[in-house]
Chains A and B, each alone.
Chain A
Amino acid sequence: MTRDGAADFASHPFVRGLAAEHVAQLAARADQVEIGAGQRIFDEDADARGLWLICSGRVALDLQVPGRHRVVVETLGPGDELGLSWLAPVPRWQFGAIAQLDVIAYTMASESVLALCDADRELGYLLTRRLLTTAISRLHAARIRILDLYAAPGPERRP
């Protein structure tokens, strides 16, 4: 990775604020990739390997629903991480991912990230907290959508 690339990598929200040595360890395992609009990044139910830090563009997470083809459940954009399912005990992608717009991202092999976390427990703890923050944020967003806030108000019900 070039010096400019390393600085760009260090400015991604997922990495920002980590100690320089931790950033360097991650940067050594990261490659910048360009993914063209329409290119599928991974398929639902495939082996979950890889973490992408999105710098620009948009990625849609989708799910095959019988009779409705692929339904987009959420989109991710600059500053977001793509790929959390490799943290699960059975690492398979729960959703597919496709670039909706041209995407530039840093990608790391999840095995490499896990090995690094095992070798450096402090970094492992910090990354776990960051990944958990992302998971919590997406859980909150999903719960808010369940509330269907924009629906027409119905008759007021009091408990």
Chain B
Amino acid sequence: MTISHAPAGYRVTGRVEESGDTVTLTLEPAGAALPGPRPGQFAMLYAFGVGEIPISVSGPAAQPTLIHTIRGVGAVSRALCAAAPGHLIGVRGPYGTSWDETDAGGQDLLLVAGGIGLAPLRPALLSVLADRDRYRRVTVLIGARSPSELLYTAELDRWRDQDVRVEVTVDKADAGWHGDVGVVTQLIPRTELDPGQTIALVCGPEVMMRLTAQSLLAAGLTAERIRVSLERNMQCGVAECGHCQLGPLLLCRDGPVVSYRVAAPLLAVREL
């Protein structure tokens, strides 16, 4: 089998500034569309002349239009964030595993997001909202550094209107903030959980995911019921180069979404 590493051309058709350093881009295929992504998957986005980085899908799944939320922290991500409508971007993918949120059909679903970790979880939530009656309680717990760094703020009330409990906490409040202050793990004991009937999807900085998983285990969930999204140095996207190896996993293929049963021992290994 021949695997094409050539990026497909996508044109920026929408650009929303989510916060000071984070932008959501809408991309339309300039030619043939790539397969529609599943929630949790990522694509390699190429800023021509600068470089290529993995970015999770943050919009509705299985559509030719791609939506990616990008935080400008390096040369490539800053170039992508600066891309204005009409700009051409290279895309490869989609790659990796899915949240498989539909496994929670008939059960409760808990999404726990830290910082930009809400972006990869959003497609799973949008998928659930499209078929809301299939699920019992749906809860979204969001932690952010400050109110100004919260993502998708215009959507939170829409999610609440669709029978989703959304709780938001920030590490540092400003004078205008009247919500929770503290780390996102502190919201877990305040959340009504049915541990044997709950699937938890967790995304954020690795330490946050580890602490969240520990809180969920303490609340009675088994590791099999917790899924985390892991990030390493994805480069080829097709498990050939080995840059994203984490123990026995090549995360571009075996991740990014991994059961915490698999992830837990790997996260405890100190890197060389």
Residue numbers of A with Cβ under 8 A of B are 13, 58, 60, 68-69, 71-75, 77-80, 100, 137, 141, 144-145, 147-153
Within the complex, which residue of A13, A58, A150 is in contact with B144, where a contact is CB–CB below 8 Å? A150
Known A-B contacts A71-B173, A80-B190, A144-B207; A150 and B183 likewise in contact (beta carbons under 8 Å): no
Is B217 among interface residues, defined by CB-CB distance under 8 A?
A: no
Nearest opposing residue in chain A for B206, CB measure: A149
Within the complex, which residue of A74, A78, A153 is in contact with B190, where a contact is CB–CB below 8 Å? A78
Nearest opposing residue in chain B for A149, CB measure: B205
Q: Which of A58, A137, A144, A147 has the most CB of B within 10 A?
A: A144
Known A-B contacts A149-B205, A150-B114; A141 and B183 likewise in contact (beta carbons under 8 Å): yes
Q: How far is the CA of A141 from the CA of B183 in the complex (A)?
A: 6
Q: How far is the CA of A137 from the CA of B214 in the complex (A)?
A: 13
Within the complex, which residue of A13, A72, A141, A148 is in contact with B185, where a contact is CB–CB below 8 Å? A141
Residues of B within 8 A of A148 (CB): 145, 171
Stretch at the interface among B32-40, B47-55, B174-182, B195-203: B174-182
Contact across chains for A149 and B73 when beta carbons are under 8 A apart: no
Is B12 among interface residues, defined by CB-CB distance under 8 A?
A: no
> Which of the four size classes fits the interface of chain B?
20 to 34
Is B208 among interface residues, defined by CB-CB distance under 8 A?
A: yes
Contact across chains for A150 and B145 when beta carbons are under 8 A apart: yes
Q: How far is the CA of A73 from the CA of B205 in the complex (A)?
A: 22
Please list the 10 inter-chain residue pairs (A to B) with the smallest Cβ-Cβ separation, ordered nearest first: A150-B115, A150-B145, A149-B205, A77-B190, A75-B180, A72-B173, A152-B73, A75-B181, A141-B183, A145-B171
Contact across chains for B177 and A72 when beta carbons are under 8 A apart: yes
**Contact string against A for B residues 149-190, beta-carbon threshold 8 Å, 1 for contact and 0 otherwise:** 100000000000000000001011101011111110111011
Nearest opposing residue in chain B for A68, CB measure: B175
Is B136 among interface residues, defined by CB-CB distance under 8 A?
A: no
Residues of B within 8 A of A69 (CB): 175
Q: How far is the CA of A74 from the CA of B172 in the complex (A)?
A: 9
Known A-B contacts A75-B169, A77-B190, A79-B190; A147 and B182 likewise in contact (beta carbons under 8 Å): no
Q: How far is the CA of A73 from the CA of B174 in the complex (A)?
A: 10
**Contact string against A for B residues 217-243, beta-carbon threshold 8 Å, 1 for contact and 0 otherwise:** 000000000000000000000000000
Q: How far is the CA of A69 from the CA of B174 in the complex (A)?
A: 11
Residues of B within 8 A of A153 (CB): 73
Contact across chains for A150 and B205 when beta carbons are under 8 A apart: yes
Q: How far is the CA of A81 from the CA of B242 in the complex (A)?
A: 49
A148 to chain B, nearest CB (A): 7
Contact across chains for B190 and A150 when beta carbons are under 8 A apart: no
Contact across chains for A145 and B183 when beta carbons are under 8 A apart: yes
Q: How far is the CA of A58 from the CA of B187 in the complex (A)?
A: 12
Known A-B contacts A13-B189, A69-B175, A72-B173; A149 and B208 likewise in contact (beta carbons under 8 Å): yes
Is B21 among interface residues, defined by CB-CB distance under 8 A?
A: yes
Nearest opposing residue in chain A for B211, CB measure: A144
Nearest opposing residue in chain A for B208, CB measure: A149
Is B143 among interface residues, defined by CB-CB distance under 8 A?
A: yes
Known A-B contacts A71-B173, A73-B181; A149 and B149 likewise in contact (beta carbons under 8 Å): no
Q: How far is the CA of A144 from the CA of B153 in the complex (A)?
A: 24
A38 to chain B, nearest CB (A): 10
Within the complex, which residue of B21, B172, B204 is in contact with A149, where a contact is CB–CB below 8 Å? B204
B80 to chain A, nearest CB (A): 15
